Amino acid sequence: MFSILGRSGDQTTGFCDGLSRRDFLTVGGMACGGLSLAQMLAADKQSGTGSNHRAIINVYMPGGPSHIDLWDLKPNAPKEIRGDFRPIETNVPGIEICELFPRMAKMMDKFIPIRSISDADGRHDAFQCMTGWKKSDQMPREGRPNFGAWVAHGQGRVNNSVPPNISLCYPTGHREWGETQFGGFLGAANAPFGLVEKDPNKKSGNMVLKGISLDRLGNREQLRVAFDRFRRDSDAKGLVESMDVYHQQALGILTTTSLSNALDLSQEDPKVLARYGVNNPAYQRDGAPKMVRNFCIARRLVEAGARVVSMNYSRWDWHGSDGLNFPRSRQEFPLLDQGLSALVTDLHERGLDRDVSVVVWGEFGRTPKINKHNSRDHWPRASCAMLAGGHMPGGQVIGSTNSKAEHPVDRPVKFQEVFATLYKNVGIDSTSARFFDTSGTPQYMVAQGIEPMPELA
């Protein structure tokens, strides 16, 4: 895995020294079960390169964000239900969202809130937001693939410099919040290519850019030095001439400028970058850091050739005895409002809004009734999502819940319906696509009978 480290004080070590040839070529190993990127490329030879570059940005909110406080406020409910926040009007008559999202409110015609996701598995992990399936569903022997693996398998690479399926998900203390899942029965060749790592002292054998920590990610000189040293050391070791074509492609991902340029935020227009807000690289307990500028990096990776970019953002599990649901919401909601509105604004200004789909969601919702700690507990009966881009008609709300936000009463939506829609947006018909696993069993992108959402056609 080509890794950009999490913050670890001022610790730095030498770059590439002492790595064996095998270690040198092992990139993407953590995300792909230890296979080298060269092996991934060889295994993926049969996947052609698609001509249309449509893409998906998947923003996962670890821990279960509160649907009733985000997009489905109930101002007329009793106090123990409605909570601290009030709805505000948006630029679309009839649509209201939380008062802490004023930027999104001004451009709601570009967003699509879903208020009626009805089939959350109830588990505290990213699995359903990364695959569309429940862990309780029958699992194929080789495992269920990450949704981006289907896109990579079906459409291949835009170019050889940028992997089609990229993960910006940070490893988390609660392990399941940092897992994008793997290639499953589609093989490691299609698994997410991980770009971030938390622990610089972890001996994983992965390719690491030493000294590039979260808070130095925007430092162009640090990036330049690390990449230049990587290229110089690889050439000095005489590896390039002895590599087969797949090893050279693997090295190409690391040594061409497309990927490094996409990660180099110093190349971004400062006025555009300022829209996104400021990163907080501190890890949120056992969740992910608030790297709000990764929204910008996701856009830059898409522009460089990625077809799918998945990221985990912060930590949204606030229902313990500390009673942090509403205080943390006051901290988190404005930053999410800033980062997400900046991303969607950028997509529209760059003419990418028709080709790039954005989904923002968590694994379940929160109890309508506030608990004794002034917080909300886990609630899988109703949850929410926010969509944008992908040529989907914005300015509409999909679904509704009852007066206490307890359960959907209109247009219940399944996770797989959202994925079927995202697949359609990038040109894949999930209703007919199938893949035979090693046992000869046909496997499908979504369950039989699941269709893309007609409201978003």
25-69 per-position pLDDT tens digit: 333 333 343 344 445 445 544 444 334 599 999 999 999 999 999
The chain-wide mean pLDDT, for the chain, equals 84
The pLDDT value given to residue 327: 95
Identify which of 159-168, 238-247, 281-290, 335-344 has the greatest average pLDDT.
335-344
pLDDT band at 255 (very low <50, low <70, confident <90, very high): low
Judged against a pLDDT cut of 90, whether residue 279 lies above it is answered with yes
Distance CA 274, CA 116 (A): 34
The pLDDT value given to residue 221: 60
The pLDDT value given to residue 29: 36
Share of the chain above pLDDT 70, in %: 76
Judged against a pLDDT cut of 60, whether residue 189 lies above it is answered with yes
Judged against a pLDDT cut of 90, whether residue 13 lies above it is answered with no
Q: Which of 119, 151, 423 is nearest to 307 (CA)?
A: 151
The residue among 33 and 291 whose pLDDT is bigger is 291
pLDDT, tens only, 131-141: 999 999 999 99
pLDDT band at 213 (very low <50, low <70, confident <90, very high): low
Distance CA 441, CA 438 (A): 7
pLDDT band at 251 (very low <50, low <70, confident <90, very high): low
pLDDT, tens only, 220-240: 566 566 656 655 655 554 544
Distance CA 405, CA 115 (A): 9
Rg (CA), the chain: 21
The pLDDT value given to residue 207: 37
Q: In what order do the strands lie in the sheet with 383-389?
A: 111-117, 383-389, 356-361, 55-60, 308-312, 165-168, 193-194
The residue among 188 and 113 whose pLDDT is bigger is 113
Judged against a pLDDT cut of 90, whether residue 253 lies above it is answered with no
SS (H, E, C) the chain: CCEEECCECECCCCCCCCCCHHHHHCCCCCCCCCCCHHHHHHHCCCCCCCCCCCEEEEEECCCCCCHHHHCCCCCCCCHHHHCCCCEEECCCCCCEEECCCHHHHCCHHHEEEEEEECCCCCCCCCHHHHHCCCCCCCCCCCCCCCHHHHHHHHHCCCCCCCCCEEEECCCCCCHHHHCCCCCHHHCHHHCCEECEECCCCCCCCCCEEEEEEHHHCCCHHHHHHHHHHHHHHHHHCCCHHHCCHHHHHHHHHHHCHHHHHHHCHHHCCHHHHHHCCCCEEEECCCCCEECCCHHHHHHHHHHHCCCEEEEECCCCCCCCCCCCHHHHHHHHHHHHHHHHHHHHHHHHHCCCCCCEEEEEECCCEECCCCCCCCCCCEECCCEEEEEEECCCCCCCCECEECCCCCCEEECCECHHHHHHHHHHHCCCCCCCCEEECCCCCEEECCCCCCCCCHHHC
Judged against a pLDDT cut of 90, whether residue 205 lies above it is answered with no
Distance CA 339, CA 182 (A): 27
Q: For 371-399, what is the mean pLDDT?
A: 97
Judged against a pLDDT cut of 60, whether residue 401 lies above it is answered with yes
Distance CA 87, CA 72 (A): 9
- Please say whether the beta carbons of 149 and 183 come within 8 A: yes
The pLDDT value given to residue 322: 80
pLDDT band at 376 (very low <50, low <70, confident <90, very high): very high
Judged against a pLDDT cut of 90, whether residue 396 lies above it is answered with yes
pLDDT band at 196 (very low <50, low <70, confident <90, very high): confident
The pLDDT value given to residue 40: 46
- Please say whether the beta carbons of 302 and 55 come within 8 A: yes
Distance CA 42, CA 187 (A): 11
The pLDDT value given to residue 235: 56
Segments making up each domain of the chain, as ranges: 3-456
Which residues, at least 6 apart from 160, have a Cβ–Cβ distance to it below 8 Å?
249, 252, 253
The residue among 205 and 427 whose pLDDT is bigger is 427
Judged against a pLDDT cut of 70, whether residue 330 lies above it is answered with yes
Judged against a pLDDT cut of 90, whether residue 19 lies above it is answered with no
What's CA 310's distance to the chain center, in Å? 2
Q: For 427-433, what is the mean pLDDT?
A: 95
Identify which of 12-21, 91-100, 193-202, 246-255 has the greatest average pLDDT.
91-100
Which residues, at least 6 apart from 82, have a Cβ–Cβ distance to it below 8 Å?
68, 73, 74, 75, 76
pTM for this structure? 0.84
